[in-house]
A = this chain, B = another copy of it.
Amino acid sequence: MMPPPPLRLHLLFRSETLIPLLRQRPSCDAPHCRTRRYISVRASAAQLAAADVSTAQQPALELGLEAAAAGFVTGKRKATEVAHAFWRNIVQKGDTVVDATCGNGNDTLALLKMVADETGRGRVYGMDIQDSAIENTSSFLKMAVDDEHQRGLVKLFPICHSRMEEIVPKDAPVRLVAFNLGYLPGGDKTVITVPRTTELALRAASRILSSGGLISVLVYIGHPGGRDELDVVESFSSSLPVDTWVTCKLQMLNRPVSPVLVLLNKK
């Protein structure tokens, strides 16, 4: 068995970019700012693998939108694969993107692959209210990405996603903000995102998103409170003005606990 994932990378990120920002951060309603995606800070590589974090490196994640959409309808592809295919369709090398719920780092890595190129202009701003999630994401990135310069394009922050405006530079046009709401299947079902801060985070995302950008929200609904959170996401999405937003959802009908993919496109 491999040793526990080192904290060095995480601390490196923090020492470079996070601590100065956190010094000036206002108080956050921490009790409501809970993340769904975390595994123990002591998780081994085997545990990370068991938690399926390694799938981010599989060819399936490079699926085109056509294959993803057709596969979703026929039950062969998951909503998360459809989400990633939509992201790839809109995100370009050099873009600034946000992972609002880092969890174990799957989406963070996928986003990094989409924006990273030799120019080094791309940025992934990732956040999670739980230190352990940030640490796991750091560890996962170190395992998955050999190029230290490329890893440096990811900026991780242990804060609530409702505070994303504090960490994303104001002059950076944000092409994508990605959310994964709910809890990690197989994980601790008491550790979930909650409607109030999710709504604040969606509002923040809608403000920082640039024209032509996308907010992607994958809502897990199979746990207590999951439907309430979906209601909040749908209500917010439905309220956005039609002249500047196109919002839609993709939902399974005969699999009532399957996650719902909500996509908000800013014109």
Contact = CB atoms under 8 A, between A and B. Distances in A.
Given A89-B70, A265-B75, A253 B242 contact: no
21 contacts: A64-B66, A65-B69, A70-B86, A70-B89, A70-B90, A73-B246, A73-B265, A74-B267, A75-B265, A75-B267, A237-B254, A238-B254, A239-B254, A241-B254, A242-B254, A245-B254, A247-B252, A247-B253, A248-B252, A249-B251, A249-B253
Could you say how many copies of this chain the assembly holds? 2
Contacts of A246: 73-75, 252, 254-255
Interface string A141-156: 0000000000000000
Interface residues on A, range: 35 or more
Interface in A185-208: none
B253 A238 contact: yes
Nearest to A252: B248
Contacts of A70: 65, 86, 89-90
Contact of A250 (B75, B237, B250, B267): B250
A66 to B, nearest CB: 4
Given A73-B246, A237-B254, A239-B254, 14 more contacts: A65-B65, A65-B69, A65-B70, A70-B86, A73-B86, A73-B263, A74-B265, A240-B254, A242-B255, A246-B254, A247-B254, A250-B250, A251-B251, A253-B262
Contacts of A242: 254-255
Contacts of A100: none
A238 B64 CA distance: 28
